[in-house]
Structure 1
Amino acid sequence: MIICTNKMEYPLRTQCQRVQKQVMVNSEKERVSLLFMKALVSRGSVDAVSQQMAPHPQYLESFLRTQHYILHMDGPLPLPYRHYIAIMAAARHHCNYLVYLHSAQFLRVGGDPLWLQGLEAAPPRLRLLDHINKVLAHQPWLTACSHIQTLLKSGEQCWSLAELVQAVVILAHCHSLCSFVFGCDTDSDFVPLSKSPNGTPPTFCPFDAANGNTNVPQLLAAPSEHITRRRSLDSSCDMVCLKERIQKSQEEREKREERLLQTQTLQQTDMEEEEEMICFADPSRFITDPDFCYQEFARREEDHFQVFRVQDYSWEDHGFSLVNRLYSDIGHLLDDRFRSVTTLPSLHSPDMKRAIWNYIHCVLGIRYDDYDYGEVNQLLERDLKLYIKAVACFPDATKTSVCPLSLTPIKTSERIHVNLLIMEARLQAELLYALRAITQYMIA
């Protein structure tokens, strides 16, 4: 008879736990490697945003699935329209990275290069989206039923309801992605900005923005020259989880491209350079009313804009069903993103995650009647509130001297998680405002 003593059990149990933990780590690395392999096969590269999200493979998978669906899968809008709408959305925050990325993809799917000369060169139907794009990006609480009516009843240039819903989803997706890009400093490879960043609130004070006090004049940056030389759209990042086969695939692809470039004619080279010049155009070409920016919702003197109460219109009870009915399956994909980000492993407690989410919605005019907002001040330090508000509401201002967020005391490992929460909370907020306006139009 064999008797297992406690002295034998504990080391064995500890060893088993270590093995299980190592298996989980390995499986997560395998999952990331598989996602990156798919990206290499489909696009020939791994974009910088995916690399930043790599520590959270479950969320990354959900994010990539949604992004691929709205930009490439079946839908009412043609592919060039989708990428041009993405350009318009990213331009509102002067997000060079996303503007250049979608400009290249716009040309790749057959878009007219002339449209990239500026918004005035785009078709009238796309220009009609400019106003709702501007409002959703900076002051989403202004989104009204009248905006929806204008788009749906514009004569020959009118939008269908299904087209408008897909356009709104793309706008909200790219606006919120700008927050992630700036929060993770992904846009740094494409600075300096050509002008004062749109979205920097007038008289913005970085030391007191969390509480709305503003005393420092807005910084005006000097215009810079356009970038015309060839640069990669993907930032270089050493990924430990990439295996040798991925590295070999990249090396082989680079060799093939090099051989191909050597055999190209002078005419083809000139066409590429001209195309690239268009891709690296100033994002301000795609916006109007550059002075329109985020304003403090809680400190407005006017009372005619009421607080958006989730009890009256929520994602779970209203937004999900509407968007899923008008744009098949997108509701499930978006819902999976919202659930994935709230279940990510983190050092933050569930209460702190909820505080971050509700604080973002609060500064965007959305309130929860059943939430004690005193917890926000208890759980979120002042510097963290400043960081969250800036990245969520005026992300492009975070790269100027009036908003030195690089000094914020957030660990690198936790910053990505906080930025994911900011992105998803902002995405849901914009969708709630837009879908509520669409609902009001439908029942009017």
Structure 2
Amino acid sequence: MIICRSMDYPLRTQRQRVQKQVNGEKERLSLLVSRGSVDAVSQQMASHPQYLESFLRTQHYILHMDGPLPLPYRHYIAIMAAARHHCNYLVYLHSTHFLRVGGDPKWLQGLEAAPPRLRLLDHINKVLAHQPWLTACSHIQTLLKAGEQCWSLAELVQAVVILAHCHSLCSFVFGCDTDADFVPLSSKSPNGTPPTFCPFDAANGNTNVPQSHATPSEHITGRPSLDSSGDVMCLKERIQKSQEEREKQTLQQTDTEEEEEMICLADPSRFITDPDFCYQEFARKEEDHFQVFRVQDYSWEDHGFSLVNRLYSDIGHLLDDRFRSVATLSSLHSDDLKRAIWNYIHCVLGIRYDDYDYGEVNQLLERDLKLYVKAVACFPDSTKTPVCPLRWTPLKTSERIHINLLIMEARLQAELLYALRAITQYMIA
């Protein structure tokens, strides 16, 4: 017994240390949100701090941490994904970050101005966004065997994760009306955040905001005079230095204004082709040749997780944590209702569970809720099809956010399943 206690003590100590760290992370996130230091989307999610922490960590990892794709590519891919749903909020946000990480401003003129390698992603971006069941092994082969413009398998996996992440995030943005409330400002980033602040860094504690350039008057602490210096040459040098700094600051301000103007003019339609391609009802098995995606044959737990984690280190764990977090959030919704929402979204996207009774969907989901869930998950772009309003009156704000989080995560997993299955088929072919 003594030995058992001695072995158990360091384990308890480690658990306490981990729990203390987790609590500290939650407090820091709450403080950042209360100060307006994160973007509008994160503020919406703040009612569920445990999930927000997982979301921000994943988002920061795929957009800013080590990976096969250069940073400008990542944000440009995010722009392409958000543009498929005409999500102004995310297009503006990632256009801003694209320029800050050294992206070529010319690329923001439109998809035709981007490098050929990025343009090759247009088709799989379109398919995953609107009809993911069309994703095929041939699409993967085209990207991996495109001559000089070919993608590596690791690069493609990261690109697919970014596409699926941003497509599903569009659903959340439109579901919470964040895009409708968004108006880009030339002097500051969305929601009043300083233009040099990166909201994705919040999950890692990087909240330092670079100071603005000092004005010429700040560089010269006192007015120079012959009486104080007694040196005419010194005075001339100070005047000349002041003029040079003033000219330099003017040039910097002009460059910033041009950059912000470029961002404001980044119309989502510039980054898409085939704008008429959109969601269509998944073909019934008895009516067409499309086969239902059966989770028993290819699931996230048994297949997708291990593949994505092997090709893009650690991302599988981060994504899995997101799926678990949203499923275990405490709420007034029963587990049966949450499962019905999740399985209904997968169903309308062509994914079915053989061990689930789909009669529960009609029993647990009212008609208005079904219409809302399907609209936000499948065609959130309100410029084409207005999202069916949901009667939110009996629900708390956190409950509304929870429903939108379920929609986002279910859609994210569905897109990943289709893409990863196609990659698996390519690898074993």
Secondary structure, aligned partner of 1:218 = coil
Once superposed, what is the RMSD of the aligned Cα atoms? 15.2
Structure 1 contact 200–394 (Cα < 8 Å) conserved: no
Structure 1 contact 83–105 (Cα < 8 Å) conserved: yes
TM-score by length of 1: 0.74
Which has the higher mean CA deviation after the structures are superposed, 181-190 or 298-307? 298-307
Structure 1 contact 397–403 (Cα < 8 Å) conserved: no
Cα distance 1:16–1:432, how it changes in 2: closer, same or farther (>3 A)?
A: closer
CA distance in 2, matches of 1:221, 1:357: 53
TM-score by length of 2: 0.76
The reply to whether residue 347 of structure 1 matches residue 321 of structure 2 is: no
Deviation at 1:211, TM superposition (A): 43
Secondary structure, aligned partner of 1:213 = coil
Deviation at 1:131, TM superposition (A): 0.1
CA distance in 2, matches of 1:66, 1:177: 13
Deviation at 1:169, TM superposition (A): 0.2
Match of 1:261 in 2: none
CA distance in 2, matches of 1:111, 1:99: 14
Cα distance 1:150–1:19, how it changes in 2: closer, same or farther (>3 A)?
A: closer
Deviation at 1:45, TM superposition (A): 3.2
Candidates 121, 135, 139, aligned match of 2:127: 135
Deviation at 1:276, TM superposition (A): 3.0
Deviation at 1:415, TM superposition (A): 1.0
Cα distance 1:152–1:231, how it changes in 2: closer, same or farther (>3 A)?
A: farther
Structure 1 contact 63–337 (Cα < 8 Å) conserved: yes
CA distance in 1, matches of 2:322, 2:92: 25
CA distance in 2, matches of 1:66, 1:131: 25
Give the unaligned 5+ runs of structure 2: none
Structure 1 contact 71–82 (Cα < 8 Å) conserved: yes
Cα distance 1:17–1:217, how it changes in 2: closer, same or farther (>3 A)?
A: closer
Structure 2 contact 323–409 (Cα < 8 Å) conserved: yes
Candidates 303, 308, 319, aligned match of 1:323: 308
Deviation at 1:304, TM superposition (A): 1.5
Instruction: Encode CA deviations 1:347-388: one digit per residue, 9 max, x unaligned.
Output: 000111100000000000000000000000111111000110
Structure 2 contact 171–408 (Cα < 8 Å) conserved: yes
Deviation at 1:305, TM superposition (A): 1.1
Cα distance 1:361–1:288, how it changes in 2: closer, same or farther (>3 A)?
A: same
Structure 1 contact 189–235 (Cα < 8 Å) conserved: no
Match of 1:400 in 2: 385
Match of 2:11 in 1: 12
Secondary structure, aligned partner of 2:210 = coil
Cα distance 1:338–1:148, how it changes in 2: closer, same or farther (>3 A)?
A: same
Deviation at 1:396, TM superposition (A): 1.3
Structure 2 contact 196–209 (Cα < 8 Å) conserved: yes
Structure 1 contact 195–222 (Cα < 8 Å) conserved: no
CA distance in 2, matches of 1:236, 1:295: 79
The reply to whether residue 310 of structure 1 matches residue 303 of structure 2 is: no
Structure 1 contact 87–102 (Cα < 8 Å) conserved: yes
Instruction: Encode CA deviations 1:166-203: one digit per residue, 9 max, x unaligned.
Output: 00000000000000001011111347999999999999
CA distance in 1, matches of 2:232, 2:324: 26
Deviation at 1:409, TM superposition (A): 6.7
Number of aligned residue pairs: 428
CA distance in 2, matches of 1:397, 1:44: 27
Cα distance 1:161–1:125, how it changes in 2: closer, same or farther (>3 A)?
A: same
Deviation at 1:46, TM superposition (A): 1.3
Give the unaligned 5+ runs of structure 1: 36-40, 256-263
Which has the higher mean CA deviation after the structures are superposed, 89-98 or 275-284? 275-284
Cα distance 1:235–1:426, how it changes in 2: closer, same or farther (>3 A)?
A: farther
Cα distance 1:366–1:12, how it changes in 2: closer, same or farther (>3 A)?
A: closer
Candidates 345, 348, 351, aligned match of 1:363: 348
